């Protein structure tokens, strides 16, 4: 009983914090609004809409890199979030570096589009629904069709299984990527990529604020990243922000 | 003798005149004459002689009397000459005769100065013709070497031409003249002015090239005619005989008021000089000839201007025409408005039809046609409407007013066309899409989307990481073995059903047998009833056929069953025997019962092996 009351109290507090943040944003007090929204994030509310709001605060404060980090975070939580997609696209158009997607051929783009158009939750739910349907169907066949002709029933079953395998494997892949594949966004004005973990290695490239890249591995204070163009190099950890939830 | 000759001459003349009169009656309807006078040079030296020619030409110029030469101040009459030439030409199958008489007077100047040869009056066919007076300048000495060739009379002054070895520009300007001739001295704003550029020459010109085209800043200009061939015709210009060519003709429409300059035009002309000896050819030299600048006064149109005046100036007529006055709904007809006349046809807005309810006008087609004539700007302007009635009924195309300004009458004139009636009958149903193309909204700027003002505070959770998610899978999967176990048990039960029945059959047999045994011991005829029913029920249960089946059916079934097949006949016999005893009168005997009981126990033993 006491626990329930405590949960309600916390929810009300969060709601008040959020509403204050929105009001501050409307009053163009972006830094204060940001503090409120970050407070919620730190309390463990990982919500795509909240991430978009944080991104917008950064955007208005002209911190493009951080804004893109949060749009990316929103999309990581919900790849179908329209506002996050739009804002990311617009933000990317303002960066110094051109950021075209790596896949240029039709098939890769098609797969990428499919991959991005389902959220992990959606895939999980679809998978379990398909699984229940399949098992129910099998049970039905066992009970009613013993020793009888059932070609059509097998055909339906195969289709269901294919759909299940597709959504389930996609979901598992997303789950894996969610925990093992990380992106980073450059938040300083520019950074130099070296051929090894240290400034005394050969310079490979220079990237600018807002550049989004894949994180490959980390060593001490240096991280190996791969740019959209396929270029790889080590940059200092202080230059970028991971698209990740601690 | 001399009288005779004169008489002969008179007769000849009379005959000739008769022929000419005859020709005149046959081919020509009206006689017209042209009388002109010219001198061979306007500047003459005291030592020179001036030839003054009066030329009378016409299609019936017969028996011209020599015009009387009045006393001319500063000149002495020294001699005369006359010549006659006739030409006949057939144009478009019509014969035209032209006769010209030239009366040439030789005049000797008496003193230096500027003199005027007065107008010569002559009377032909009771009509008086007057020539223009000519100004002649008399100078010291001679002008002989300046004398150009006279194109009209190439053989006239061979000696003079021989002296003419070169053209110099002082007499060039006298003998080659470029003139911009305007058809009026003053015009209204917007009125068409025709400017003809005419070249007068007394030299032989082999080529003419257009110089720089001047820019007409205060005018809207349209080229009407441009000479393509060097085709000269004779003309008198400022009292002298010239060859004339119209080089080009332009229509100018003033866009400003006031004293406007018409820019000077210039042409490059190639002039050939005659060679003076037999072995050399004539030389050709190029000169640039420039016309004198002209001015024209442009007046504004008188105020007030009528409301429907759209700038038409000239002389026009207007007609309207309907292609069809009975149409079906949805079919089209054309309404044509034609403005015909002379003026600035291309430079005014034509009158337009007002909108009429339920009549749809397709954007009119406006066509301006200028007649192929360079004398004036005349032609037609046609406004063609395609009209589609949208509903049935009678429609009136209202009268249309068109106002133009007449420069000759100096007032605005309004023309109108009568209203027209159109009858539209019901036609096929047509839906008109009255929607006009909508404005496409285009992005004017770009920005991020606004923040979310409401969120559900649900935090992200990964179902794959939830134990319950996987428990659902396991639970659902576990239903399969449960189903399988259930299904196989069901199967087992199905199989045991038959076993159950045959077990039951033995019980039944025992029950009936017991009753039969009791009855047999009592020598009761009910023994047969119980024996028959018991066996029948036993077999039906054993063979899984419905009870109550007929005896024959039971026997048929028994034949197919391997275990009962060998006892079919015995069963049949026993069952028949039971029937006989039960239903035949006197069939029952107490002695036979113990015997039949033996048969029953034997049969049952046989059947029970199953």
pLDDT digits over B329-377, tens only? 777 888 888 888 888 877 787 787 777 777 777 777 888 877 765 556 7
What is the DSSP secondary structure assignment for residue B143, as one 8-state letter?
-
- Mean pLDDT along residues B471-485: 92
* Terminal Cα distance for chain B, rounded: 185
Residue A152, classed as helix, strand or coil, is helix
CB count within 10 Å of CB A126 equals 18
Contact B420, B328 (CB under 8 A): no
- Mean pLDDT along residues A113-122: 85
How far apart are alpha carbons A7 and A14 in whole angstroms?
Answer: 11
* pLDDT value of position A222: 92
Cβ burial B75-86 (10 Å sphere, 16+ → b, else e) = beeeeeeeeeee
* pLDDT value of position B481: 92
Q: Do A142 and B448 make contact, defined as CB atoms within 8 angstroms?
A: no
Please report, to the nearest 10 degrees, the dihedral formed by the alpha carbons of residues B518, B521, B522, B523 taken in order: 120
Of B35-44, B98-107, B209-218, which range is least confident? B209-218
**Residues in chain B within 8 Å Cβ distance of A27:** none
Q: Which of B354, B413, B357, B416 is nearest to B389 (CA)?
A: B357
Residue A40, classed as helix, strand or coil, is helix
* pLDDT value of position B449: 81
Q: If you search the block for the tokens 């449960």, which residue do you land on?
A: B482
Most trustworthy range by pLDDT among A22-26, B505-509, B528-532: A22-26
Element (H, E) at B254: strand B240-254
* pLDDT value of position B157: 41
Residue A39, classed as helix, strand or coil, is helix
Q: Do A90 and B447 make contact, defined as CB atoms within 8 angstroms?
A: yes
From the CA of B496, how many Å to the nearest CA of chain A? Answer: 18
- For residue B418 the two structure tokens come to 């009568």
B30 or B51, which is more confident: B51
Q: How many residues does chain A have?
A: 246
Residue among A55, A135, A178 minimizing CB distance to B476: A135
Looking at every residue in chain B, the average pLDDT score rounds to 76
Q: Do A47 and B455 make contact, defined as CB atoms within 8 angstroms?
A: yes
**Sheet containing strand B294-299, strands side by side:** B186-188, B294-299, B258-262
Q: Do A53 and B446 make contact, defined as CB atoms within 8 angstroms?
A: no
Cis previous bond, B304, omega within 30:
yes
Contact B197, B247 (CB under 8 A): yes
* pLDDT value of position B160: 41
**Residues in chain A within 8 Å Cβ distance of B459:** 44-47
* pLDDT value of position B48: 77
Question: Is A124 near chain B, with CB under 8 Å?
Answer: yes
* pLDDT value of position B368: 80
Q: Do A53 and B451 make contact, defined as CB atoms within 8 angstroms?
A: yes
Contact B54, B102 (CB under 8 A): yes
Question: Does residue B327 carry a pLDDT above 60?
Answer: yes
State which residue of chain B sits closest to A173, comparing Cα positions: B464
Contact B39, B240 (CB under 8 A): yes
Strand partners for B370: B379
Strands B333-343, B359-370: pairing is: unpaired
Q: Which of B67, B69, B42, B73 is nearest to B55 (CA)?
A: B67
Contact A24, A36 (CB under 8 A): yes
B349 exposure class (CB count in 10 Å sphere: 0-12, 13-18, 19+)? exposed
* pLDDT value of position B508: 74
Numbers of helices and strands, H then E, in chain A: 8, 7
Looking at every residue in chain A, the average pLDDT score rounds to 87
Strands (E), B330-463: 333-343, 359-370, 378-389, 393-397, 400-406, 411-417, 420-425
Q: Any residues with CB less than 8 A from the CB of B435 and at least 6 apart, and which?
A: none
Reduce the secondary structure of B190-225 to three states and give it as a string: CCCEEEEEEEEECCEEEEEEECCCCCCCCEEEEEEE
Question: Does residue B417 carry a pLDDT above 70?
Answer: yes
Question: Does residue A128 carry a pLDDT above 80?
Answer: yes
Question: Is B26 near chain A, with CB under 8 Å?
Answer: no
Backbone φ and ψ for A81, nearest 5 degrees, come out as: -65, 115
Contact A70, A83 (CB under 8 A): no
How big is the A-B interface in CB pairs under 8 Å? 96
Q: How far is CA B228 from CA B208, B389, B489, in A?
A: 10, 51, 117
Of A183-197, B36-50, B499-513, which range is least confident? B499-513
Question: Does residue A151 carry a pLDDT above 80?
Answer: yes
Question: Is B474 near chain A, with CB under 8 Å?
Answer: no
Predicted confidence band at B488 (pLDDT cuts at 50, 70, 90)? confident
Query: pLDDT (tens digit, 9 = 90+) per residue, B237-293?
Result: 877 888 888 888 888 888 888 888 887 787 888 887 765 555 556 677 777 788 877
Strands (E), A51-188: 182-186
Q: Do A128 and B473 make contact, defined as CB atoms within 8 angstroms?
A: yes
Residue among A49, A124, A132 minimizing CB distance to B455: A49
How far apart are alpha carbons B595 and B586 in whole angstroms?
Answer: 17
Contact B145, B171 (CB under 8 A): no
- Interface predicted TM-score of the whole assembly (ipTM), two decimals: 0.80
**pTM score, whole prediction:** 0.41
Q: Do A131 and B473 make contact, defined as CB atoms within 8 angstroms?
A: yes
Question: Is B68 near chain A, with CB under 8 Å?
Answer: no
Query: pLDDT (tens digit, 9 = 90+) per residue, A93-113?
Result: 888 887 766 566 788 888 888
* pLDDT value of position B21: 60
CB count within 10 Å of CB B373 equals 13
Question: Is A89 near chain B, with CB under 8 Å?
Answer: no
* pLDDT value of position B317: 87
State which residue of chain B sits closest to A170, comparing Cα positions: B464
How far apart are alpha carbons B103 and A189 in whole angstroms?
Answer: 107
* pLDDT value of position B31: 57
How far apart are alpha carbons B473 and B464 in whole angstroms?
Answer: 11
Contact B390, B265 (CB under 8 A): no
Q: Do A132 and B476 make contact, defined as CB atoms within 8 angstroms?
A: yes
């Amino acid at each position: 009983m006491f626990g329930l009351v405590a949960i309600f109290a916390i929810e009300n507090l969060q709601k008040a914090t959020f509403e204050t943040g929105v009001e501050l944003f409307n009053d163009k007090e972006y830094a204060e609004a940001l503090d409120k929204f970050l407070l919620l994030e730190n309390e463990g509310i990982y919500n795509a809409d909240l991430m978009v709001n944080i991104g917008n605060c950064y955007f208005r404060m002209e911190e493009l890199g951080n804004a893109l980090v949060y749009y990316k975070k929103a999309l990581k939580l919900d790849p179908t979030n329209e506002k996050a997609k739009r804002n990311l696209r617009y933000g990317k158009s303002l960066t110094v570096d051109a950021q075209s997607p790596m896949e240029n051929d039709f098939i890769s783009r098609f797969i990428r589009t499919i991959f991005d158009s389902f959220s992990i939750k959606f895939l999980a739910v679809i998978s379990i629904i398909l699984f229940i349907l399949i098992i129910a169907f099998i049970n039905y066949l066992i009970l009613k069709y013993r020793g009888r002709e059932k070609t059509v029933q097998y055909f339906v079953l195969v289709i269901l299984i294919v759909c299940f395998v597709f959504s389930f494997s996609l979901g598992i892949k997303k789950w894996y990527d969610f925990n093992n594949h990380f992106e980073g966004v450059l938040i300083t004005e520019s950074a130099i990529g070296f051929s090894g973990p240290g400034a005394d290695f050969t310079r490979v490239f220079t990237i600018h604020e807002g550049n989004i890249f894949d994180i490959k591995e980390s060593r001490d204070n240096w991280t190996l990243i791969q740019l959209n163009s396929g270029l790889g190099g080590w940059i200092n950890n202080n230059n970028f922000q991971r698209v990740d939830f601690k | 003798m001399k009288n005779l000759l004169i008489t002969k001459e008179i007769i000849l003349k009379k005959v000739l005149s008769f022929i000419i009169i005859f020709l005149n009656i046959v081919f020509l309807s009206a006689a017209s004459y042209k009388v002109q006078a010219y001198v061979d040079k306007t500047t003459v030296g005291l030592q020179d002689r001036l030839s003054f020619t009066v030329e009378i030409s016409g299609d019936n110029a017969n028996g011209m009397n020599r015009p009387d030469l009045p006393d001319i101040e500063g000149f002495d009459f020294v001699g005369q000459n006359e010549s006659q030439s006739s030409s006949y030409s057939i144009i478009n199958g019509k014969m035209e005769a032209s006769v010209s008489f030239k009366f040439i007077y030789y005049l000797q100047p008496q003193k230096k100065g500027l003199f005027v040869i007065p107008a010569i009056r002559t009377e032909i066919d009771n009509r008086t013709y007057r020539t223009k007076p000519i100004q002649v300048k008399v100078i010291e000495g001679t002008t002989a070497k300046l004398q150009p060739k006279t194109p009209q009379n190439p053989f006239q002054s061979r000696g003079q031409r021989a002296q003419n070895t070169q053209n110099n520009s002082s007499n060039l300007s006298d003998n080659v003249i470029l003139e911009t001739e305007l058809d009026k001295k003053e015009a209204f704003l917007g009125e068409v002015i025709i400017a003809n550029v005419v070249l007068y020459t007394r030299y032989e010109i082999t080529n003419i090239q257009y110089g720089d085209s001047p820019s007409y800043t205060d005018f809207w200009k349209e080229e009407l005619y441009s000479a393509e061939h060097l085709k000269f015709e004779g003309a008198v210009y400022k009292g002298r005989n010239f060859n004339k060519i119209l080089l080009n003709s332009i229509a100018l429409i003033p866009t400003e008021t006031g004293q406007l300059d018409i820019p000077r035009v210039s042409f490059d002309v190639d002039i050939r000089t005659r060679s003076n000896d037999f072995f050399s050819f004539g030389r050709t030299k190029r000169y640039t000839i420039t016309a004198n600048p002209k001015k024209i006064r442009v007046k504004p149109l008188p105020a007030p201007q009528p409301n429907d005046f759209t700038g038409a100036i000239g002389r026009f007529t207007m007609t309207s025409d309907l292609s069809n006055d009975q149409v079906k709904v949805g079919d089209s007809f054309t309404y044509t408005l034609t403005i015909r006349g002379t003026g600035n046809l291309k430079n005014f807005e034509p009158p337009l039809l007002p909108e009429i309810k339920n009549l749809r006008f397709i954007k009119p087609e406006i066509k301006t046609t200028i007649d192929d004539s360079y004398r004036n700007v005349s032609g037609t302007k046609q406004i063609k409407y395609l009209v589609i009635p949208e509903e049935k009924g009678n429609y009136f195309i209202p009268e249309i007013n068109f106002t133009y300004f007449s420069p000759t009458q100096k007032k605005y004139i309004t023309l109108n066309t009568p209203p027209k009636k159109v009858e539209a009958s019901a036609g096929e149903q047509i839906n008109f899409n009255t929607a006009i193309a909508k404005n496409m909204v285009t992005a004017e700027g770009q920005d991020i989307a606004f923040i979310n003002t409401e969120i559900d505070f649900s935090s992200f959770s990964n179902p794959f990481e939830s134990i319950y998610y996987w428990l659902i899978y396991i639970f659902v999967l576990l239903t399969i073995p449960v189903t399988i176990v259930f299904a196989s048990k069901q199967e087992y039960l199905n199989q045991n059903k038959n076993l159950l029945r045959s077990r039951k059959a033995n019980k039944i047999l025992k029950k009936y047998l017991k009753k039969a045994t009791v009855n047999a011991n009592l020598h009761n005829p009910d023994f047969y009833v119980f024996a028959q029913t018991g066996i029948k029920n036993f077999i039906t249960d054993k063979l899984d056929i419905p009870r109550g089946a007929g005896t024959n059916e039971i026997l048929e079934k028994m034949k197919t069953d391997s275990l009962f097949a060998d006892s079919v006949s015995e069963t049949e016999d026993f069952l028949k025997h039971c029937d006989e005893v039960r239903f035949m009168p006197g069939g029952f005997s107490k002695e036979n019962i113990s015997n039949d009981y033996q048969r029953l126990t034997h049969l049952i033993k046989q059947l029970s092996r199953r």
